[in-house]
Amino acid sequence: MGPGWRAPSVALVGGSVALFGALRRAALALPRPAAVRSRPGRVWRWRNLLVSFAHSVLAGLWALFSLWHSPELLSDIQDGYSISGHLLVCFSSGYFIHDSLDIIFNHQSRSSWEYLVHHAMAISAFVSLIITGRFLVAAMLLLLVEVSNIFLTVRMLLKMSNVPSPALYEANKYVNLVMYFAFRLAPQAYLTWYFLRYVEVQGQGAFLTANLLLLDAMILMYFSRLLRSDFFPSLRKGSAGRDVDGEKFLID
């Protein structure tokens, strides 16, 4: 991918930021459950989750289809290229920028600092991919995590809305666990092994490897929280990292 792609890529990322801004405004018009309306601290969170859900559905299925349609990309993780993958990286970069701005402008930085760290890592990594045209396939593999995020976000929406349907929550709980393994832990483990074994630890390779290892730590921390909350509630502890309504922002 030559330098001629860079200006269009900036426009694509900007267009994605604008798209998610429009989705955020549209979410304001959607009806909210009584449990959300009655607690002001949940209103912003609910809207933010709806936009996150839209990104997860679009980006997750996009990554899955792109890799299924072009499986040969998996044989060249460092230099493989597809237009679909490039557009996907620009699309998700726009979402991460929009979500960061939404968190900051709505004064949620303190309760959502883990999201901001994650987004800063993702944005910086994706910008390096757009500039160099390398490791695009690695980004597509990482974005498979959005398939898992679909069910993780549904889980959080169900908890916030106090839906009187334990069966629905229970079913999603187990599907969420399977998807976490299949689309979050498995791709992450494979990429970590690949980078440590095959990628030269200098320049962009060193930067992306460091990002990946930090992301490994974050994913394992989230997985621990998820297991304690949904499968071993007796092990839950009171901790920091709660939103303005007193609930964990990432996983409660």
Strand, coil or helix: what is 30?
A: coil
Look at residue 163 in the predicted model and tell me its pLDDT. 75
pLDDT 10s digit of each residue in the chain, 252 long? 544 566 789 999 999 999 999 999 999 999 999 889 888 778 999 999 999 999 999 999 999 999 999 999 999 999 999 999 999 999 999 999 999 999 999 999 999 999 999 999 999 999 999 999 899 999 999 999 999 999 999 999 999 988 767 899 999 999 999 999 999 999 999 999 999 999 998 999 999 999 999 999 999 999 999 999 999 987 766 544 444 443 444 544
Tell me how far apart the alpha carbons of residues 139 and 126 are, in angstroms, rounded to a whole number: 7
CB 89 within 8 A of CB 139: yes
Contact (Cβ atoms closer than 8 angstroms) between residue 39 and residue 239: no
User: What is the Cα Rg of the chain in Å?
Assistant: 18
| pLDDT attached to residue 206 | 96
Distance from chain centroid for Cα 92: 9
User: What is the per-residue pLDDT for 243?
Assistant: 44
Integer Cα distance of 169 and 112 in angstroms: 24
Could you give the CA distance from residue 67 to residue 88 in angstroms, rounded to a whole number? 12
Task: Give the separation between CA 140 and CA 86, rounded to whole angstroms.
Answer: 9
Tokens of residue 29, six digits? 């018009």
State if pTM tops 0.85: yes
> Phi then psi for 207, rounded to 5 degrees?
-60, -45
What pLDDT does residue 246 have? Answer: 39
